[in-house]
Amino acid sequence: MTAVPTPARKPRRAAVPYTFLAPALVMFAAFLAAPIGYAAYLSLRRVKVSGLGLGRGARTEIWAGLSNYTRSLTDPDFWPSVGRVGAYGMIVVPVMLGLALLMALLLDAGRTRVGAFARTSIFLPYAVPAVVASLLWGFLYLPRVSPITDALQAVGVTPPDLLSDSWVLYAVANIAVWGGTGFNMIVIYTALRAIPTDLFEAARLDGASDVQIAWRIKIPIVLPSLIMTFVFSLIATLQVFAEPMTLRPLSNTISTTWTPLMKVYRDAFTRNDVYLAAATSVIIALATFVLSFGFLKLVGNRAFNQED
C-alpha cells in the first residue's frame, strides 16, 4: 500500500517558498524600506534650540509637520536644480536610447563580422564606475591636459571650454550617454534576438528591405524593452549625482546645488540640516515614482498588451 502524506507536512511545504524569499525580504527591509521610512520620519521633524543651544537638553527634536517640505519647495536653489536636471534629461535620454537602439539593430542585422567583440566594446563603458568615468572625462575636458585640445589646435581648430557655463551641461550629459548606452543596447539586443527569424524571412520574400523590417517589425516588437529602458533612464536622470559632483572640483561652473541630489548632500553634510535634506529626498522619490508610474500607465497597455 502507498503511504498517504500526513496533513502535518502540508504547512511545511507551504513555508518552503517563504524560506527561500526570507533573505531577500530581510535585505529589502533592512537596506531599502527602513531607510526610506526613516527619511520620511526625519522629514517631519526639526530641532528646537533653547537659549544659546549649549548644554544638555538645549537642542531637542520636535514635530515639524510639513514645514520642511515647504522650506524645500520654496528654497531658491531647488527649482533651478530641477530645471537643470530637466534639460539634462532631455539631452541624455533620447540620445542614449537612440544610440542604443541603432547599435542593437545594426548588430542584429549582422552588418558586423565581430559581433561578440562589438557587443563587449559597446557594453564595456557601463562597467566603469561613474566616479572613475567622470574623472577620466574631466581630465579630457581640461584644456591644459587634454590630448583632444592639442589635436584640435594642431589642425587650427579652437576647441571650446567644455567646463564653461555654456558647455558644462553637455559635458555632464556626454558622460552619462557614454556610460549608459551599452547597458540599454544589451537589453534591446536581447529582445531582438528573441524575435523568430521566420518573420524576417517572410518579410524579405515580400520585398521588404532591412530598414523596413527594422521599422515595421523589430521596433514594434521590442517596444516593451524600449519602455523599460526609458523608465530606467528616467530614474537615473532624476538621481544624477556622481558625474557633476566629481567634475565640481575641476570647474567653478558647477555649484553645490547643481542637481537636487547635490542640494540634498549640501543640506545634510555641509549645513547639517538632515531634516530639510530628508524632505527634499522624499520629494525626489515621489517625483520619480509619479513620473515613472505615469509614463507606464500612459503607454504600458499599448506596449505590453500587443496581443489585444
How is the chain split into domains, by residue range? 66-304
The three cell numbers of residue 193 are: 534576438
The DSSP output letter for 161 is -
The DSSP output letter for 31 is I
The reported pTM is: 0.86
Residue 8: what pLDDT?
Answer: 53
Closest CA to 91 of 178, 188, 187, 190: 178
Residue 10: what pLDDT?
Answer: 60
The three cell numbers of residue 251 are: 570647474
Residue 307: what pLDDT?
Answer: 47
Segment 49-56 long-range contacts (CB within 8 Å, at least 24 positions apart): none
> Which stretch of DSSP H or E encloses residue 59?
strand 59-63
Are the beta carbons of 81 and 262 closer than 8 angstroms?
yes
**CA–CA–CA angle 227, 228, 229 (5° rounding):** 90
> Which stretch of DSSP H or E encloses residue 45?
strand 45-49
Measure the CA–CA gap between 94 and 99, rounded to whole angstroms. 8
Alpha-helical segments (H) within 66-114 = 67-73, 78-108
Look-up of cell digits 509619479: 290
Question: Please, how many CA atoms are within 13 Å of residue 48, restricted to the half-sphere of its CB?
Answer: 8
Say which amino acid occupies 170: Y
Measure the CA–CA gap between 83 and 45, rounded to whole angstroms. 28
Q: pLDDT in tens for each of the 308 residues of the chain?
A: 455 555 555 667 777 888 888 899 999 899 888 998 999 999 998 887 766 556 666 678 788 889 999 999 999 999 999 999 999 999 999 999 999 999 999 888 865 566 677 888 888 999 999 999 999 999 999 888 888 888 888 888 888 888 989 999 999 999 999 999 999 999 999 999 888 888 888 888 888 888 888 898 999 999 989 999 999 999 999 999 999 999 999 888 999 999 999 999 999 999 999 999 999 999 999 999 999 888 888 876 665 565 44
Residue 308: what pLDDT?
Answer: 47
Question: Please, how many CA atoms are within 13 Å of residue 59, restricted to the half-sphere of its CB?
Answer: 7
Per DSSP, the three-state class of 297 is helix
**Radius of gyration of the chain from Cα atoms?**
26
Superfamily for the 66-304 domain: MetI-like (1.10.3720.10)
> Which stretch of DSSP H or E encloses residue 73?
helix 67-73
Are the beta carbons of 247 and 224 closer than 8 angstroms?
no
Measure the CA–CA gap between 85 and 89, rounded to whole angstroms. 6
The three cell numbers of residue 256 are: 553645490
Look-up of cell digits 528654497: 75
Look-up of cell digits 575641476: 250
